[in-house]
A and B are shown apart, each in its own frame.
Chain A
Amino acid sequence: MSDRVIIGLEVHAQITSLKTKLFCSCSSDYRGRKPNTNVCPTCLGLPGSLPVLNRAALEKAIALALALNCRISEKLIFVRKHYFYPDLPKNYQISQYDRYGLIPFAVSGSIAIDMGNYSKVVRIRRINIEEDTGRIVYPGGSPLGSTYSLVDYNRAGIALLEIVTEPDFSNSREARVFLEKLGSILEHLDITDTSLEGALRADANISVAGGPRVEIKNIGSPRELEKALNYEIARQLNILKSGGTLERETRHWIKEKGITVPSRAKELEGDYRYFPDPDLPPISIPPDLIESIKRRLPELPDLRARRLAEEYGIGSYMASVLVLNKRLCDHFENTVRLCGNPKLVSSILVNEFLRWVDELDLDLGEGLRRLNSKRLCRIVDYLEKGLISVKLLKEYVRRVIVENTDPEKIVESGMTTLSSAEDIEKIVEEVFKEYPKAVEDARRDPKAVNFLVGQVMKKTRGRADPKLTNAIILRRLQEHESG
């Protein structure tokens, strides 16, 4: 039995840059408002209300379709997708469909992802324009802890782009990188502010070892996607290994607990009774509109990565990681503009910054505010001046991010490299006295020198300049020999 994993994604991206909802003039900025105050007859589905398309949404959708190399339909045909659910005001959702002569908004695109040691082209099956639902609010925080639930329709009718991939991912990491890249493309196109809660959501279809397709819903970020998939892969493999069988089902990702659970209500394979929405006549998408949007497309992640590699001489993988997040990438360029040294800056951002943001589960924007360009440049400056070593630099980055403090403060606390030979001499002398046996060893075996260097580092808590320390120890070993 092979453990082959097949994953496909269905991503929902809110068009957060719009002023209004998809079919009415309510604000698209619904977050943080009193429940059910950002509503009107249309998005509440009051009797007699009618939808009118927000044209700006169509233009944003065209930009995305172009960026993903999709084929855009000649007509935008809205359909009604029917299902009963309390967060759905009309008990149907306005979307598109691909059967019965109906067509998705755009089809057959692709996104290339760089996995470091290999790259991959992920196929996009389709993009649709549709409306978001309201939100179910549980007074007890979760369905299980509540005896009733409330509905907030402030979000109902927000413009969504639905992006569906082919099942092209073989592991969770690829899915995460894809979602990051898609988010970055949406950011570059000024479609979605992915830092907003719920602005970029994913459902994943996963099949392990030829087993049935399991759908995981309610995944809110690339990082969560990777975690959810890892959990699910392990769960399914465990069941198979213990001789159990998997069933086709829908599961929900519970972020707080880091697990997936079966959907509470048995979600039946719905008969959605799609049919063309009689309130919205088909809208033709003129080629010259597509052309004019194409001409105005901004620099997108792939091109930007190429430019970064050329302009700053950083490696192409480094560049491809930077462009997975527009704000990170902007931060890189801003910082380099301020203090140069692109290789070091990119390395700090990719190798140190991203690791800590992940580890601390920190919002990326907050992370960037903490490690702002000024602070980052100061740290680079310390290294260039020899005030700190590469090892200390890492510690500086960590403390700036964790403690949200200025590098100056850390310097003041005395955490600098011991670069005066005099200071290091003293410590070396102490170490030599404490470990005479090691000193003997080191004379015979150059490899054993490292132990002594290590002890010096330990005593200085890493502040000693390693090169200098090494040089002093070697000199003293020779002196002992001759003396």
Chain B
Amino acid sequence: MSPPQCTDLATIGIKSLRARVEEDPDFLFKYIEEVYKIIEKYEGVIKAYITLRPMEEVVREAEEVLKRGTLGPLGGSLVAVKDNISTKGIRTTCGSKMLENYVPPYDATVVERIKTAGGIIIGKTNMDEFAMGSTTENSSFFPTRNPWDLERVPGGSSGGSAAAVAACEATVALGSDTGGSIRLPAAYTGTVGLKPTYGLVSRYGLIAYASSLDQIGPIGRCVDDVARVLSVIAGHDSRDSTSLKVEVPDYTQFVSEEPLRKYRAVVIEEMIGEGVDREVIKVLEHVVDKLEGYDIEVEFRSIPILEYSLPAYYIIAMAEASSNLARYDGLRYGIHLSTEGLLWTKTYAQVRKMGFGDEVKRRIILGTYVLSEGLYEGYYLKAAKVRRAIYDSFRKLFSEFDFAVSPTAPTPPPKLGEVVADPLKLYSLDINTVPVNLAGLPAISVPGGFVGGLPVGIQLFGPPLSEGVLINVARMVEVIVGYER
């Protein structure tokens, strides 16, 4: 099932696209034209992109890809890139007025790898300002709408990326996930979103929100596409000191409709507790029932420390954000004000007052507060301890189980304006996704069904570097729910 914007041609995945182009190079131009037709028709309403590249430019790049002799694993796919990932020569706003006219002089490592693999950047997608938000309504420019229901949000903060993929305005997309920012929009838009193990994908060029939590990951319409993009972007990068030195497999080998080995799965009680919609739990139950049919044992476990994961997450994320966002002072890049005659301190204050939106200011202020002399131990250090305890709990859990399964989000996508005004309500959308970031684990959100015509995502997560297992099980879920193309 696809949202109404998609056409058969535009719904094509990387594997088929690559095969068709291999047969007939002109197919790539037909495909590009089709995607731009959809964009022309619907983008004005959906507003997935902050910066869309003109079709001529994309066609020119497609010609170059075809000239290379080898198509590369992405075979001319159109890749939408979240606007917090640096693209050389293409403006990268991070969804903020602060960087409205900022054009990076360098490509993020993931962008380099996408290009080398034959992917073509089609544009930069909308997002909550500095990735702070769960609905994409916190963009400094405009909100993005959910292709399934234009009255609803696409989730955030990678809402533009997810909406672009869902509406077939791109083949695949890159998002970033600090506390659920890939998985939540994937769940809300009926797409597949994968947040890799911390350190598997280079952060070089990703505009930092909370450096110890941020990871770049793929969003696609199917598990196979996500596996293909992950194979391209994963792997050690000497420019990122937190990058893991591990051998990266070809993840498509895990895209199997059958379990590749015997799995044991766990449902964490705290992730289906109060606040999670009854209908959403029903979707989960259906999926779990079917998984048991594959000879996967599913057990229930409680991890009480998860009660503290949201506060711990917000303390750590805001602390890091207050530090990461200190550099935006308008002096070297970003908005520039005429400040003649003003002291530099006044200039900085003015730039930051005008450049940042309310949610960003809120998090900088709170982050500054929790790092202050005398408060540090009570907030930041305590949060770090909770984080460690969560990590330990998961490590113990995954010595017993291969993966955990939960709803990605507690509810189907809310309407625009419904949660954005209430920070606590907004923050609680991340209840099931943030523990995964705190522990640095990999997770995938895959469509699990519909509630009232709106997509519901199932989250699978496992121990570090278990992406292969998650891709295998996610593919099985796709088959289970018949959500195939």
Q: Are B239 and A47 in contact (CB under 8 A)?
A: no
CB < 8 Å neighbour of B104 from A45, A48, A101, A281: A48
Known: A91-B326, A275-B323, A279-B211. 18 other contacts (CB 8 A): A41-B106, A46-B86, A47-B333, A48-B104, A48-B203, A48-B206, A50-B203, A52-B238, A52-B239, A52-B240, A86-B331, A91-B327, A92-B326, A273-B322, A273-B323, A273-B368, A273-B372, A279-B241
Q: Are A100 and B320 in contact (CB under 8 A)?
A: no
Within 8 A of B (CB), among A75-105: 80, 82, 84, 86, 89-92, 100-101
Q: Show 26 A/B contacts (Cβ-Cβ < 8 Å), sorted by A.
A: A41-B104, A41-B105, A46-B86, A46-B104, A46-B332, A47-B208, A47-B333, A48-B86, A48-B204, A48-B205, A49-B205, A50-B239, A50-B240, A82-B323, A89-B327, A89-B332, A90-B327, A91-B326, A92-B326, A153-B332, A271-B373, A273-B368, A273-B372, A273-B373, A275-B376, A281-B242
**Cβ–Cβ < 8 Å partners of A49 in chain B:** 204-205
CA distance A278 to B204 in the complex (A): 13
**Cβ–Cβ < 8 Å partners of B332 in chain A:** 44-46, 89, 153
Q: Are B371 and A275 in contact (CB under 8 A)?
A: yes
With A92-B326, A278-B212 already in contact, the answer to whether A100 and B331 are too (CB < 8 A) is no
Within 8 A of A (CB), among B103-144: 104-106, 108
CA distance A86 to B205 in the complex (A): 23
Q: Does B401 contact A (CB under 8 A)?
A: no
**Cβ–Cβ < 8 Å partners of A50 in chain B:** 203-204, 239-241
B337-377 interface bits toward A, Cβ cutoff 8 Å, 1 = contact, 0 = none: 00000001100100000000000000000001001110011
Chain B contact residues, majority secondary structure: loop
CA distance A275 to B371 in the complex (A): 7
Q: Does B207 contact A (CB under 8 A)?
A: yes
**Cβ–Cβ < 8 Å partners of B92 in chain A:** 47-48
CA distance A45 to B328 in the complex (A): 9
CA distance A83 to B11 in the complex (A): 50
**Cβ–Cβ < 8 Å partners of A274 in chain B:** 371
Q: Are A47 and B371 in contact (CB under 8 A)?
A: no
Of listed A48, A100, A101, residue having the most chain B CB within 10 A: A48
* Minimum Cβ distance to chain A for residue B468 (Å): 25
B75-115 interface bits toward A, Cβ cutoff 8 Å, 1 = contact, 0 = none: 00000000011100000101000010010111010000000
Q: Are A84 and B371 in contact (CB under 8 A)?
A: no
Which 10 A-B residue pairs are closest in the complex by CB-CB distance? A91-B326, A278-B212, A278-B211, A273-B371, A47-B207, A48-B205, A48-B86, A90-B327, A45-B327, A48-B207
**Cβ–Cβ < 8 Å partners of B344 in chain A:** 86
B169-207 interface bits toward A, Cβ cutoff 8 Å, 1 = contact, 0 = none: 000000000000000000000000000000000011111
User: By the criterion of a CB under 8 Å from any partner CB, how many residues of chain A are at the interface?
Assistant: 31
- Of chain B, the residue at the smallest CB distance from A151 is B331
CA distance A280 to B239 in the complex (A): 11
B369-395 interface bits toward A, Cβ cutoff 8 Å, 1 = contact, 0 = none: 001110011001100000000000000
- Of chain A, the residue at the smallest CB distance from B349 is A84
CA distance A46 to B333 in the complex (A): 8
CA distance A101 to B238 in the complex (A): 28
Q: Does A35 contact B (CB under 8 A)?
A: no
Q: Does A211 contact B (CB under 8 A)?
A: no
CB < 8 Å neighbour of A91 from B86, B99, B203, B329: B329
* Minimum Cβ distance to chain A for residue B241 (Å): 5
Q: Does B319 contact A (CB under 8 A)?
A: yes
CA distance A348 to B326 in the complex (A): 55
CA distance A279 to B368 in the complex (A): 18
CA distance A50 to B380 in the complex (A): 23
- Of chain A, the residue at the smallest CB distance from B326 is A91
* Minimum Cβ distance to chain A for residue B435 (Å): 18
Q: Does A53 contact B (CB under 8 A)?
A: yes
**Cβ–Cβ < 8 Å partners of B345 in chain A:** 84
**Cβ–Cβ < 8 Å partners of B102 in chain A:** 47
**Cβ–Cβ < 8 Å partners of B381 in chain A:** 100-101
Residues of A within 8 A of B (CB): 41, 44-53, 80, 82, 84, 86, 89-92, 100-101, 151, 153, 271, 273-275, 278-281
* Minimum Cβ distance to chain A for residue B105 (Å): 7
CA distance A274 to B374 in the complex (A): 12
CB < 8 Å neighbour of A92 from B207, B323, B333: B323
CA distance A50 to B323 in the complex (A): 14
Of listed A47, A80, A84, A151, residue having the most chain B CB within 10 A: A47
**Cβ–Cβ < 8 Å partners of B333 in chain A:** 46-47
**Cβ–Cβ < 8 Å partners of B210 in chain A:** 278
**Cβ–Cβ < 8 Å partners of A153 in chain B:** 332
Q: Are B86 and A100 in contact (CB under 8 A)?
A: no
CA distance A153 to B331 in the complex (A): 12
**Cβ–Cβ < 8 Å partners of B329 in chain A:** 84, 86, 91
* Minimum Cβ distance to chain A for residue B52 (Å): 21
**Cβ–Cβ < 8 Å partners of B85 in chain A:** 48
**Cβ–Cβ < 8 Å partners of B377 in chain A:** 100
**Cβ–Cβ < 8 Å partners of A92 in chain B:** 323, 326
Q: Are A281 and B327 in contact (CB under 8 A)?
A: no
- Of chain A, the residue at the smallest CB distance from B214 is A278
CA distance A274 to B207 in the complex (A): 21
B298-335 interface bits toward A, Cβ cutoff 8 Å, 1 = contact, 0 = none: 00000000000000000000011011001101011100
Q: Are A52 and B241 in contact (CB under 8 A)?
A: yes
- Of chain B, the residue at the smallest CB distance from A44 is B332
**Cβ–Cβ < 8 Å partners of A53 in chain B:** 241
* Minimum Cβ distance to chain A for residue B224 (Å): 29
CA distance A271 to B331 in the complex (A): 23
With A48-B207, A91-B327 already in contact, the answer to whether A271 and B105 are too (CB < 8 A) is no
* Minimum Cβ distance to chain B for residue A49 (Å): 7
- Of chain A, the residue at the smallest CB distance from B86 is A48
* Minimum Cβ distance to chain B for residue A93 (Å): 11
CB < 8 Å neighbour of B319 from A86, A90, A275: A275
* Minimum Cβ distance to chain A for residue B107 (Å): 10
* Minimum Cβ distance to chain B for residue A471 (Å): 76
* Minimum Cβ distance to chain A for residue B31 (Å): 30
* Minimum Cβ distance to chain B for residue A134 (Å): 10
CA distance A407 to B260 in the complex (A): 90
CA distance A47 to B348 in the complex (A): 17
Q: Are A275 and B380 in contact (CB under 8 A)?
A: yes
CA distance A51 to B211 in the complex (A): 12
CA distance A273 to B372 in the complex (A): 5
**Cβ–Cβ < 8 Å partners of B203 in chain A:** 48, 50
Q: Are A100 and B376 in contact (CB under 8 A)?
A: yes
* Minimum Cβ distance to chain A for residue B361 (Å): 16
CA distance A33 to B17 in the complex (A): 51
CB < 8 Å neighbour of B326 from A84, A86, A151, A279: A84
CA distance A52 to B204 in the complex (A): 11
Within 8 A of A (CB), among B239-297: 239-242
* Minimum Cβ distance to chain B for residue A371 (Å): 47
CA distance A50 to B326 in the complex (A): 15
CA distance A101 to B99 in the complex (A): 36
* Minimum Cβ distance to chain B for residue A467 (Å): 70
* Minimum Cβ distance to chain B for residue A326 (Å): 34
CA distance A281 to B106 in the complex (A): 24
With A44-B332, A281-B241 already in contact, the answer to whether A90 and B326 are too (CB < 8 A) is yes
**Cβ–Cβ < 8 Å partners of B348 in chain A:** 84
CA distance A89 to B329 in the complex (A): 9
Q: Are A48 and B373 in contact (CB under 8 A)?
A: no
**Cβ–Cβ < 8 Å partners of B322 in chain A:** 273
Q: Are A51 and B241 in contact (CB under 8 A)?
A: yes
* Minimum Cβ distance to chain A for residue B260 (Å): 32
Q: Are A82 and B331 in contact (CB under 8 A)?
A: no
* Minimum Cβ distance to chain A for residue B289 (Å): 41
- Of chain B, the residue at the smallest CB distance from A85 is B344
**Cβ–Cβ < 8 Å partners of B239 in chain A:** 50, 52
CA distance A53 to B106 in the complex (A): 20
**Cβ–Cβ < 8 Å partners of B204 in chain A:** 48-50
**Cβ–Cβ < 8 Å partners of B106 in chain A:** 41, 46
